[in-house]
Amino acid sequence: MTRSLTVALAQLAAAPRFEVGEFGERLRALVRRNPTAEFWAFPELHLDPADTAEGIEASARPLDDPRLAALGELARELGVWLAPGTIYERGETGAVHNTALVFAPSGERVAGYRKIFPWRPLETAAPGDRFEVFELPGIGRMGLSVCYDIWFPEHARHLAWLGADVILNLVQTATSDREQELAIVRGNAVMNQLWIASVNAAAPTGRGRSLVVDPTGSVRAASPDASEEVLTVVVDFGLTELTRDRGTAGVSRPWSQFHEGDAPVALPLYDGRIEPSNWHPRSKENRP
């Protein structure tokens, strides 16, 4: 059985307001033009463009908000996986988080990841405290990353270790360092031997240049500029395992670095250590 999925990255400018009806009309039109796409991903804060402290406070909502349930109904209606970007979530303690959502074709919300690394000092959302990887039954596992998260190697490494075959990176980068982000995305894909799909907002919200990189570091699709477009890529989830088993370029197998009996390696930065017996990404049998 194939473990592939056609992923569509919607490089669009942010919506002017959180309006599920308007978003639904646009998504239906996109699906009609791209009928083979099975997973739709939108940029960070695509539906929640508030950019002042007052606006963010007013916009924040709990995950049981009816508007979010309506996004699930939209996914069910169209029969697609849907990552509508991120929203400002009002958490249990009252804190506001920048949260990525994913809905299955059944309409069920299967992920709600709170961005761990806000772009401080400009971003005021509270950081999350856990990584998130979810299952696409019969296909594989996907980990979630939001914009600045990708700059921290610990983030991608933990998603890989938790069993992600693909990292979905939702971005709203409007600054000149998008150029550096492209190198970071490719580097993380190579070092962790997995797919990374990074969808940025189009102008004027972002600088575009969305891209998809495979586990060998090859760029499978890339937007050349900040104009609105949809990138579609057939993502073979099995290529992650194959690359780790056979090696990048048939040579390097970093996830097989340690042998039985190797001594632990101290990690002073984290007041911890690498345990060789626990180095390799979790197998399907013991993934959480």
CATH code, domain with 151: 3.60.110.10
Q: Indicate if the pLDDT at residue 284 is higher than 60.
A: no
End-to-end CA distance of the chain: 23
**Per-residue pLDDT, 148:** 98
Whether 288 is covered by a domain: the verdict is no
179 in helix, strand or coil? Answer: helix
Q: Indicate if the pLDDT at residue 184 is higher than 70.
A: yes
Whether 270 is covered by a domain: the verdict is no
The whole-number average pLDDT for the span 97-102 is: 98
**Per-residue pLDDT, 288:** 46
Whether 206 is covered by a domain: the verdict is yes
Alpha helices by DSSP H, the chain? 20-33, 53-59, 66-78, 153-161, 178-192, 238-246
pTM (2 d.p.): 0.94
Whether 276 is covered by a domain: the verdict is no
Q: Indicate if the pLDDT at residue 285 is higher than 80.
A: no
Tally of domains within the chain? 1
Whether 279 is covered by a domain: the verdict is no
Whether 49 is covered by a domain: the verdict is yes
**Per-residue pLDDT, 1:** 52
Q: Residue 282: which pLDDT band, with cuts at 50, 70 and 90? A: low
**Separation CA 202–CA 49 (nearest Å):** 13
Least confident of 27-36, 51-60, 99-108, 241-250: 51-60
Whether 77 is covered by a domain: the verdict is yes
Q: Residue 271: which pLDDT band, with cuts at 50, 70 and 90? A: confident
Domain range for 44 is 4-253
Whether 264 is covered by a domain: the verdict is no
